[in-house]
Structure 1
C-alpha cells in the first residue's frame, strides 16, 4: 500500500489491511474477488474474500460512504433488516500516488441474492408478488422508525428464502434519511410512489429481456406494493373504536398483530366520558414476534416465517408427547435436543451450504407431510430426514453462494414423486429439476 490509508470501522479486523487498496476496484486480482452475482448499482461493486466471509466493496465518495456507513449502523440498532457495515476506507492512492475513490465495505448477507439472480430464466407472477410483498413489509418497518428511503426498488434490496415466502433486507441506504419525529403522510406516499415506479421499470426490463412469464403483468405486480403496504400500515398503526362491552377486541387486535409477526410494547387505550366507548391504538409496534419467541425459548435465530413454522412444530411436539403442562422453556429445550438438532446434524457436511438450517428443517417438515399423505400414516423423523436429504437436498444448488429460483410449492425429483402421485411431469425452464402438474 502507498499513501496514508484511513480505515473507519466498528470492528477490529486486521484482514482489512490485506486487501489491495492501492488498486482501482475494477483491477483487483481474481484471487481476491468472490464470484457472486450482483444487482444493478450506480457505483462499482465487487465482492471480496475477508476473514472467512465475503464482503461487498463499493466505490463512492467520502461523504456518501461515511453517511451510509453511519446510517446502516443506526438501522441495525433499530433492528431493521439491512446489510452489516464493516468499514469506510479513505485516503487510497495507487502506486504513482494518484488518488483512488473511497469505498464502503459491508458484509455480504449469506443465503441472499439480488432479485435478478433469483431466476435462471423466467419469473413467474406469484414469485414476483412474493418479492413485492416482502419489500412492502420492509418499507413499512422503515417508515415506522422514521426512515425515508428515497430510492425504494428491488435492486436496492436483498432477499432470503423464508419458509415459502421471502424476507427483504435493505442493501443501499445512501439516499435515506432518518427523521426523529417520524414521517409525514406525504413522505410515506412519496416513497411508495418511488417503489411502484421503480418496480414497474425493473419488471418491464426483465420482460424486455424475455425473463418473465407471459402472464406476468409488470404494472399490476408493481401496483401490488401499494395495496400490500397500506393494508399492513393500517393494521399496525390505525386506531380502533368499539363499545366498552367489546373489550375482547383489544386482545383480538393484539393477536392479529402477533399473527403478522409484530409485537406491541405499548398500547394506548382511552374511554369516553360516559365509559361506553373504548379507543385503542398501538403506539410501539416491533417486528419479529415469532423470531423473538423462538430465540428466547431455544436460542435459534431464524427468519420470521421460519420461526413461526418451527414454533408450530414445537407446539405440535408438546401436544403429541403430553408436554402441554410442562414448563414451556423445558419443553422447548427437549424439542431442540430431540427433534431440531438431530435433523441438522443429519445433514452431510458437503450439503450444509444448500440452505439455512431453519429452512432445511421447514422443507423437511413439508417433505415428511407429503410422505405421510402418500403412505396414509405418520413417517418416523429419521426416515423422513434420510429421504429428504437423498432425494431433495442433494439435488439443490448451494444457496450459500447461489440461490436457485424460489419454489411456489414443495418440489422433489420427478422420479420420486411421480410414482407416488400419478402426476404428469412438466419441464420447467426456471429451475434445474421438474415441476408437477397434478
Structure 2
C-alpha cells in the first residue's frame, strides 16, 4: 500500500521523496546540513524553491498528534513551528519508528537553546559572572523568553509535556528574543484552558528536562556533572510564575478610577499579549468597587497591528519598533490619514531601505537590521540633541560595525 500524504496548499507535494526508505538512508541532492538540537528522532532538512523544510521520522500516533497540535497552535497564533504535511502508512506497522513522518517549515535565523549552551564549552557550569560563556550578558533576556514561551502556550491551553533546551528555538526580535516551540508529539490542547495542576506539572517537567540537558552538556564537555547549572530550570520557573501572576492578577478599582482599565490593558500589551476580553465584576466586600479581570490572548499585539496597518509581517518586538517608525514618519490624524501615511512610509522609506539591506551580502535578517538602524537613529539623535534621518543613521550604523540593541532588564519583576 503506498503512503498517504496530507500536504497543505502553497508547498511542494513532496512526492519526489523516497518515503518507503528510512531517513538515515536518504541521499538526495536537495538535502542540506543545518544546525539542530538533540532529537529522539531522525531529522533531515530539504531545500525547495518554496523554502526549506524539516522532515522528522516517527511512529504514526506521535506524528498525527504532533501535526494536529501544531495546526491547533497555529490557529490561535501560538509560537510554534508551522506544520506543513503529514506522511502516513510508510510501513504496515504503525508502531514502527519510520511508519510516519512530519513535515514542518524551517524557522529562519533560529537556533535551539541547547545549541547555544553546548557550543561554548563551559556554558553548562553555574557562574555568577554575567560575562560567562553561554547566555552571557543576555542571560536575563534568554531566560525571560524561555519562560514567556511556556506562558504563551499555557494561555493557549497547551500542555507541552516536553519543554527542554533542545525543543525551544530562539531568534532575535528587535531588542527582545522570540522563542518558538518544536516537537509537539507529547502535547495536548484543552479548549477550556489548563488547570493549575496541568501548569504545575508542565513546569516541573521543564525543570527536570532542563536539568538533564545541563548535565548532558557538562558531560559532553568533560566538566564534572556536579558543577552543572542544575538551578537553571528553577530560575526559568520563577520567571514563569512572575509573568503568569502579572497577566492573571485581578485589579480592584473604585467608580472614579475607570482610567485604570486602560492602564491594565496597556500593561498587558506592553508585555506583548493581546487582551481578548475585559470583565468588570462587582466587589463582594465593597459595592463602590469593581474588579478588573482580563482574558489574555496571544503574544502578537503589535505584530497584528503592523500587519493590519501596513501589510508587513514582523516579529512582536520588531513590529513595536517599526510601528514607532510609522508614527515617526507621520502617523497622526484620523484612520484614513493614518492608513495613507502608512502606505507612503512603506513605499518611500521602508521598502527602499529593505532593498538596500538585502543587497548586503553578509546580512542574514533585513527586518532585524532595519530595527537595529531605528535604534541607532534614536541613539544618535539623543546624543546630538537633534533629529537624525534614517539615511544618516544607516551610514553611521554601517561605519560603526552595525551595532545592535543594548541589553534590556528583565521584563517582569
Q: Is the 8 A contact 2:158 2:188 kept in 1?
A: yes
Q: Is the 8 A contact 1:148 1:191 kept in 2?
A: yes
Q: 1:337 aligns with which of 342, 347, 357?
A: 347
Residue in 1 aligned with 2:314?
302
Q: Is the partner of 2:31 in helix, strand or coil?
A: coil
Q: CA RMSD in A?
A: 3.0
Query: How big is the shift at 1:33?
Result: 1.5
Counterpart mapping for 1:131-280 below 5 A? 131-209=142-220, 218-272=229-283, 275-280=287-292
Residue in 1 aligned with 2:71?
73
Moved more, 80-89 or 266-275: 266-275
Residue in 2 aligned with 1:91?
89
Can you list the C-alpha shifts for 1:357-403, whole angstroms capped at 9, x where unaligned?
3211111123334555676755432243244356646xx9xxxxxxx
User: Aligned pair 1:385/2:394, yes or no?
Assistant: yes
Residue in 2 aligned with 1:357?
366
Query: How big is the shift at 1:157?
Result: 1.6
Change (3 A) 1:229 1:211: farther
Can you list the C-alpha shifts for 1:154-211, whole angstroms capped at 9, x where unaligned?
2112212111221111111001011222211111011112222322333444445559
Query: How big is the shift at 1:290?
Result: 0.8
Q: 1:325 aligns with which of 333, 337, 347?
A: 333
Residue in 2 aligned with 1:19?
17
Residue in 2 aligned with 1:117?
115
User: Aligned pair 1:293/2:301, yes or no?
Assistant: no
| 2: CA distance, partners of 1:285 / 1:78 | 8
Q: 1:312 aligns with which of 324, 330, 336?
A: 324
State the TM-score, normalizing by the size of structure 2.
0.83
| 2: CA distance, partners of 1:24 / 1:41 | 16
Can you list the C-alpha shifts for 1:216-252, whole angstroms capped at 9, x where unaligned?
9834443222222122212222222233333222121
Change (3 A) 1:270 1:264: same
Query: How big is the shift at 1:151?
Result: 1.0
Q: Is the 8 A contact 1:236 1:285 kept in 2?
A: no
Q: Is the 8 A contact 1:265 1:286 kept in 2?
A: no
Q: Is the 8 A contact 1:125 1:217 kept in 2?
A: no
| 2: CA distance, partners of 1:267 / 1:258 | 13
Q: Is the 8 A contact 1:81 1:170 kept in 2?
A: yes
Residue in 1 aligned with 2:123?
none
Q: Is the 8 A contact 2:114 2:213 kept in 1?
A: no
Query: How big is the shift at 1:333?
Result: 2.1
Q: Is the partner of 1:174 in helix, strand or coil?
A: coil
Q: Is the partner of 1:19 in helix, strand or coil?
A: coil
State the TM-score, normalizing by the size of structure 1.
0.79
Q: Is the 8 A contact 1:33 1:47 kept in 2?
A: yes
Q: Is the partner of 1:347 in helix, strand or coil?
A: helix
| 2: CA distance, partners of 1:234 / 1:79 | 22
Can you list the C-alpha shifts for 1:76-112, whole angstroms capped at 9, x where unaligned?
1111111111222233369xxx995421111111221
| 1: CA distance, partners of 2:333 / 2:318 | 25
Change (3 A) 1:374 1:85: same
Change (3 A) 1:246 1:371: closer
| 2: CA distance, partners of 1:193 / 1:200 | 11
Moved more, 13-22 or 191-200: 13-22
Q: Is the partner of 1:39 in helix, strand or coil?
A: coil
Q: 1:54 aligns with which of 52, 55, 61?
A: 52
| 2: CA distance, partners of 1:125 / 1:167 | 17
| 2: CA distance, partners of 1:211 / 1:361 | 41
Change (3 A) 1:286 1:124: closer
Residue in 1 aligned with 2:129?
none
Change (3 A) 1:279 1:13: closer
| 1: CA distance, partners of 2:292 / 2:375 | 39
Query: How big is the shift at 1:12?
Result: 6.8
